Structure 1
Amino acid sequence: MVILSSKISGVKIHLNGQFTEEYRIALEDFTMFYDFIDITYDPNNKSSLKSKNDRVCRFCQKSSPDVSFKKSAHLIPEFMGNRNLLSDFECDTCNMKMSRYEDSFAKFFGADRTFSQMKGKKGSKTFKNSKIEVREIKEDGKAKIRITPKLLNGEKCYNIDEDNKSIIIENTKHSYIPLDIFKVLCKIAFSLIPESELEKFEKLRTLILQNTFDDKILKGNDFFRAYTFKLNWNEYKRPIVMMFKKRLSYKDQNIPSWTFVLCFNKFVYQFFLPFCEEDNWLYNKSKEVTFKILPPLISEELILNFGNPTMEIFDFSSYELLKCEKEKIILYYETKAKVE
């Protein structure tokens, strides 16, 4: 059994079951360099918040009456399954800005958002473009996915592989801005960083809010990547975020000081915070930075039952609108039936 003990709350995560050899080695390597600081999750009920007159925005640093706090500010986006985890330090102006970032993140998932049954304020989101419509429906009291392909210039957007009993869907995502996605991740992390550490992240706070960027800082910067795992099942009914900090005994190691792991639905996103004052020396181009990856905390039994998660690294450093990105979705079936 592996136990992760929080440095802040004292919460302990007991990891039962056997890990694959690959995951066990990666977990030991990661925990050698990083302390587990805390875990945050969507609670069953909304917690009490400060009076709106006493609130100060953590992002723009303004307070009432200069800004208002009328809206419910979700610490983790609602489309990831968060319902009750709210903050009392995000003003309405910044909340509107974060909502635009979250829109890019939602579009990044394309039709897979509906297939994965991610639910927003109004339930599951229907994906629709000129080639396909993917919608969640209720049938006999059960949630099902209805796929309606459309012919475009006589071409269909899917193929059926009879040998592997699969349907391969070629789709085009809606346009999104990659950097906005990274801003959402940073916003979540910046919301959870202990207040005593915030002054070390002034540049990160600026990045989250600003609209103009320096290509020299963004392009080729490995800090703006997300290391992701996609599971073959919905493991996280509610989102959780784990926070880790580099151990003091390894302060001279070429690894970032802070890393966060966001788990929601069937996805795991690990990212490393840029612009921490403690890491300024890492930006020396002559130093090669190592990014230690925490494997999904799932047992070998689950992998044997559902298959290996798919790992992918995404570069979210571009602030240009990304258009017409292709995605391939493979669905497996047991039987086919002709519908009249």
Structure 2
Amino acid sequence: MLDKFLEYNDNRAKALTERYVLHVFNVFSPTQAKHRLGHNQPKVCRYCGKDESATAFREESHAIPIFLGNKTIIDGLECDQCNHHFGDHLENSFASYTLPHRPFQRTRGRNGIPTYKGHDLEVSAVDQSNLTICVGGEGGIDALEVEGKNQLSFPAVRPPYYPTAIHKMLIKMALAMMPDDDHRRFDYLKPWLLRKDHAPGFSGSIPVIEWTISGPVNPNKITCIVAKVKDAFSSSTYRYQFIFQYGNFQYQLVIPLAEESAQRKDFVFAPLILPDEHFRCFGLSDYQTKHFDSPDRVRGEKVSILLQYTGRSSDEPNGEGKCQ
């Protein structure tokens, strides 16, 4: 099973590089040198189209939200007004959607690693080496044991979020990292990104692919890939894709061109951007297809977070086990 998974992953990598030119952006550390998109270009916002005579560019706009750990890739062509709009109407939903997982992943945002507080569960981390999990309820931590495995299954609930806002957020990230000649092809999408409501902006798009990656990962590593189809495959394959990986998640989506909205083209799966050794150590990963196209606010969505452990001790004063 593992060898077949690795073979598929290798084939996905070959297919992607065969059909697409890849523009890759990596974050390895919050202290690395900043990459300023649009540096030395005229200050014209690539979202609203206003220049310095009509809007301000005083603030530091993060091409990837800072709550996901990005302090490195800065969008110099995003004005302050659009920055505030994206923060209020897009990022808040993505922050809610990812919140239950970020403490487990030890994802450091603007104010450190967030704390998740739910019913009978609180997860926090003072640094990226130590995780504190407080479990209440009948049975305590033993009730979370996965039978036959060294795993605990933590039930969590996402704060309310708007699905369409997540789709918009991913598309906005892709547009931020596109070369100038490419992002202008998506001008028809920009008024939709700047709308305050959460109505879907286009139809017929394929779903977002959401991979959940098993095992511990580098909490500071972020990879973004803007994939542009090669001319030889442009008639048969979707022209633009965006691949985004942080923590234990990898997202992939088609950036919808207006002329492709009614067409059925080849969708090329991206590989998981991790070495084979990771999967040999921590097992297979799987994906879901997500349709982030609903304008309705999602409330009370439950998620289950699995945590692998190597051993347990029973030396706590209250007799409860402690994971190591």
Name the TM tier (shorter chain).
0.7 to 0.9
Tell me how far apart the structure 2 counterparts of residues 52 and 246 of structure 1 sit (CA, whole Å).
28
Letter in 2 for 1:91: C
SS in 1 for 2:168: helix
The reply to whether residue 23 of structure 1 matches residue 9 of structure 2 is: yes
Task: Say whether 1:148 aligns with 2:131.
Answer: no
Residue of structure 2 in register with 1:337 after alignment: 314
Q: 1:289 to 1:213 in 2, by over 3 A?
A: farther
| Compared CA separation, residues 90 and 224, structure 1 to 2 (3 A) | farther
Q: Distance in 2 between matches of 1:191 and 1:50?
A: 9
1:170-207: per-residue Cα shift (whole Å, max 9, x none)? 22111111111111111111111211223311122122
Greater share of strand residues, 1 or 2?
Answer: 1
Correspondence 1:131 to 2:108 = no
Matched, 1:303 2:279: yes
Cα distance between partner residues in 2 of 1:265 and 1:213? 27
Counterpart in the other structure of 1:165: 150
1-structure distance, mates of 2:34, 2:276: 35
Cα deviation for residue 301 of structure 1 reads: 2.5
The counterpart of 1:91, out of the listed 79, 83, 99, is: 79
What residue in structure 1 maps to residue 173 of structure 2?
A: 188
Q: How big is the shift at 1:213?
A: 6.2
Q: Does 1:39 align with 2:24?
A: yes
Asked if structure 1 preserves the Cα contact closer than 8 Å seen for 2:37 and 2:73, the reply is no
Give the secondary-structure state (helix, strand or coil) at the position aligned to 1:136.
strand
Residues 229 and 296, structure 1, Cα contact 8 Å, conserved in 2: no
Contact 2:160–2:299 (CA<8 Å) still a contact in 1? yes
> Hey, what's the Cα distance between the residues in 1 that align with 2:7 and 2:39?
50
Match of 2:62 in 1: 74
**Which residue is equivalent to 1:109?**
98
Matched residue, 2:233: 250
Q: Distance in 2 between matches of 1:27 and 1:330?
A: 27
Q: Which residue of 2 aligns with 1:177?
A: 162
| Cα gap change, 1:126 to 1:22, in 2 (>3 Å) | same
Q: Are the equivalent residues in 2 in contact too, given 1:131–1:171 (CA < 8 A)? A: no
Match of 1:8 in 2: none
Does structure 1 residue 283 correspond to structure 2 residue 261?
yes
**Deviation readout 1:256-285 (Å, 9 max, x if unpaired):** 1101211222322211101x24xx1x333x
Query: Shift of the alpha carbon at 1:105?
Result: 1.1
Matches within 5 A, 1:52-67: 55-67=43-55
1:20 aligns to what SS in structure 2? Answer: helix
Q: What is the rounded CA distance, in whole Å, between the counterparts of 2:193 and 2:130 in structure 1?
A: 37
- Do 1:236 and 1:263's aligned partners in 2 also have CA atoms closer than 8 Å? no
- Name the amino acid aligned to 1:283: S
1:148 Cα shift? 1.8
Q: Distance in 1 between matches of 2:282 and 2:230?
A: 34
C-alpha contact 1:167 1:330 (8 A) present in aligned 2: yes
Name the residue aligned to 2:321: none
2:224 is aligned with 1:241: yes
1:213-266 deviation digits (Å, cap 9, x = unpaired): 666834xx334523434242214633221121112112221x311012112223
In structure 1, what is the Cα distance between the partners aligned to 2:250 and 2:39?
34
| Structure 1: unaligned runs, 5 residues or longer | 1-18
Where does structure 1 differ by over 6 angstroms across 4 or more consecutive aligned residues? 48-53, 154-157
What TM-score does the superposition give when structure 2 sets the normalisation length?
A: 0.84
Residue matched to 1:259: 241
Distance in 2 (CA, whole Å) between partners of 1:225 and 1:317 is 10
Q: What is the CA–CA distance in structure 1 between the aligned matches of 2:154 and 2:92, rounded to whole Å?
A: 23
Q: Is the 8 A contact 1:108 1:173 kept in 2?
A: yes
Shift of 1:53: 12
Structure 2: distance between partners of 1:249 and 1:289? 14
Q: What is the number of residues matched between the two proteins?
A: 307
Distance 1:266 1:331, change over 3 A: closer
TM-score (norm 1): 0.80
Q: Which residue identity lines up with residue 297 of structure 1 in the other structure?
A: I
Please give the alpha-carbon distance, in whole angstroms, between the structure 2 residues aligned to 1:159 and 1:236: 24
Unaligned runs of 5+ in 2: 318-324
One-letter identity of the residue aligned with 1:314: K
Identity %: 21
Q: 1:214 to 1:289 in 2, by over 3 A?
A: farther
1:292 equivalent to 2:268? Answer yes
SS in 2 for 1:204: helix
* Counterpart amino acid of residue 272 in structure 2: P
Q: CA RMSD in A?
A: 2.8
Q: CA deviation at 1:35?
A: 2.5
